[in-house]
Amino acid sequence: MIEKSFGSSDVLPLWVADMDFEAPLEVAESIKKRTEHGVFGYTAVPYSYYKAVIDWLKVRHGWEVDRDWISLSHGVIPSLCAAIITFTNPGDKILIQSPVYPPFFSIVKNNGRCLVNNQLKISQGKYIIDFDNLQKQLSEGVKMMILCNPHNPVGRVWSRDELNQIGELCLKYNVMLVSDEIHSDLVYPYVKHIPAGSISEEIAQNSITCVAPSKTFNIPGLGISAVIIPNSRLSKMFNKTVSNMAMNMSSIFGPIAAEAAYKYGADWLDQLLVYLQGNIDFLTQYLKDNIPQIKFFKPEGTYLAWLDCRDLGLDQKELKSFMTNKAKVGLIEGTAFGPGGEGYQRLNFACPRSVLVEALQRIKAAVNDRTT
C-alpha cells in the first residue's frame, strides 16, 4: 500500500489517521471471546452497547443523552452522507470550514449539493473562525453546516463561546448544525471538548452529533459509530433514510468492541494522551531547534500535526516531491484539505517516539541537503 500511495516502499508512512498502537486488551479479548462462539449470523445490537455510549458521554464529556437519541452507523462519513440526503435537497448550500478533512468536500459535491466554504483564519498563531463571514454566508440560504470538532487537520477544540455563536447563528438562519466529533476523546489537558449538542436545549434540537470509538481506541476497521439526534422528528427522518439505504445493519464485532472500549478503555486512553502529549512536546522542540523553516500549530486535540512548510520556498508540487522523494516521509499534502492548505503537510504523530524521531531526522537531513 505504501508503494502504491507514494511510489516507493522505503517511505515512512505518517499519513493515514489511525495509530500504531494496539487497541485496549479488553477490546481484543471481547472479539476473541465472540469468535470462539463459532457462529457468525445476523445479530441484534444489545442495549448494553447503547448504555456504554451513554455512560461514556456522561462521564467523559458531561453530556447526558437518552437511548432514543442514538442511531447506529457504520461510520461518521456515511452518517454525514445520510444527513445530507435526509435534510437537504440537490442544489442546496452546505457550509464547511477549510482547511478540513478531504471527504467533507466530496460528500457535499457528490450528492449534488452546493459547497460553501467558511475558511478559517489564523490570528496570533491560532486558527479562529471568521464569524463575520460565517454570519453573511449562513444568511444567504445555507441549509446545513458541517462542523469539525475537534478540527482535522488544524487541531482546534472549539470553545463553549465559539460553539454557542455557531449554534445561535444556525438557529437564527434556520441552518441545521451537523457536528463531526470523531476526535472528541483525543483532547489535551489545557482544553475541554464540549459536544455541540450540549450547549443548549435550543441548539440541541437543531443539531446532529456524530461520535465513534474508532480514532480513540484505534479500531476504525470495525466500522461502528453513533449518531446523536435529540430532536425526535429529525431522528425519525434520519433513521428512515438509514433504513432505506440499508445502513441499519451492524456487524457482529463492531458493537462488541465499542462496548468493551467504552466500558474498560478509560485508563488506556489516559495513558495514551500522556504519550501523545510527549510526542507533541518533542515535535515542537525538535522543529524549533533543528528545522525552524517548518512551523507547527500545537494541537488542542487530535493526534495530527499541521505543519506550515511555506518557509521552505517550495510550491505544492515541489513540496510533495520533497517530502516523498527526498525526505522519504509519507505525509498528506495540505491542498487535499482545500483552500488554506497550500504549503502545509499533515503528519500523524500517534506512533512510537522512535518512529517520530526517524521521520524528523529524515526531514532535517533533506532540508540540510537542500540548503548546502
Q: What is the 3-state secondary structure (H, E, C) of the chain?
A: CHHHHHCCCCCEECCCCCCCCCCCHHHHHHHHHHHCCCCCCCCCCCHHHHHHHHHHHHHHHCCCCCHHHEEEECCHHHHHHHHHHHHCCCCCEEEECCCCCCHHHHHHHCCCCEEEECCCEEECCEEECCHHHHHHHHCCCEEEEEEECCCCCCCCCCCHHHHHHHHHHHHHCCCEEEEECCCCCCECCCCCCCCHHHCCHHHHCCEEEEECCHHHHCCHHHCCEEEECCCHHHHHHHHHHHHHCCCCCCCCHHHHHHHHHHHHCHHHHHHHHHHHHHHHHHHHHHHHHHCCCCEEECCCECCEEEEECHHHCCCHHHHHHHHHHHCCEECEEHHHHCCCCCCEEEEECCCCHHHHHHHHHHHHHHHHHHHC
Residue 291 sits in a domain whose CATH number is 3.90.1150.10
Is position 31 within any domain?
no
214 shares a domain with 271: no
Same domain, 7 and 45: no
Please report where in the chains the cell 488542542 appears, as a residue: 300
Q: How far is CA 311 from the centre of its chain?
A: 27
Note whether 160 and 277 are same-domain residues: no
Question: Which residue, 177, 189, 123, is CA-closest to 146?
Answer: 177
| Spatial distance between the Cα atoms of 102 and 335, rounded to a whole number of angstroms | 9
Out of 263, 278, 300, a domain closes at: 263
Count Cβ atoms below 10 Å from residue 39 Cβ, excluding itself. Answer: 7
Can you tell me the distance from the alpha carbon of 21 to that of 57, in angstroms, rounded to the nearest whole number? Answer: 23
**CATH number for the domain including 119?**
3.40.640.10
Domain edge (last residue) among 237, 263, 289: 263
Domain-located, residue 371: no
Q: Is residue 186 part of a domain?
A: yes
Residue finishing a domain among 242, 263, 284? 263
Q: Are residues 179 and 276 in the same domain?
A: no
C-alpha cell at position 255: 458493537
Q: How far is CA 123 from CA 127, 130, 136, 188, 230, in A?
A: 6, 10, 20, 21, 35
pLDDT for residue 9: 78
Residue 228 in any domain: the answer is: yes
Which domain does 61 fall in, by range? 39-263
For residues 208 and 327, state if they share a domain. no
In a domain, residue 110? The reply is yes
The amino acid present at 85, given as its one-letter code, is I
Give the neighbor-by-neighbor strand order of the sheet with 142-148: 70-73, 225-228, 207-211, 176-180, 142-148, 93-96, 114-117
What pLDDT shows up at residue 372?
Answer: 62
In this structure, are residues 300 and 157 in contact, taking their beta carbons and an 8 Å threshold? Answer: yes
One domain for residues 272 and 303: yes
Nearest to 303 by CA among 336, 346, 333: 346
Q: How many structural domains are present in the chain?
A: 2
Q: Tell me: do 222 and 250 sit in the same domain.
A: yes
Are both 362 and 244 inside the same structural domain? no
32 belongs to a structural domain: no
- Do 255 and 49 meet the contact criterion of CB atoms below 8 Å apart? yes
- Tell me how far apart the alpha carbons of residues 47 and 268 are, in angstroms, rounded to a whole number: 24
| Residue 329 bridge partners (DSSP) | 12
Write out residues in the chain with pLDDT < 50, as ranges: none
Residue 283 and residue 252 share a domain: no
Q: Flag whether 50 is in a domain.
A: yes
Say if residue 192 is in the same domain as residue 325.
no
- Do both 220 and 279 map to the same domain? no
Residues 120 and 253 reside in one and the same domain: yes
Q: Does any domain span residue 182?
A: yes
* Phi then psi dihedrals of residue 143, to 5 deg: -100, -25
Find all residues with CB under 8 Å of 249, minimum gap 6, and list them.
Answer: 42
Contact 327, 312 (CB under 8 A): no
pLDDT number for residue 1: 64
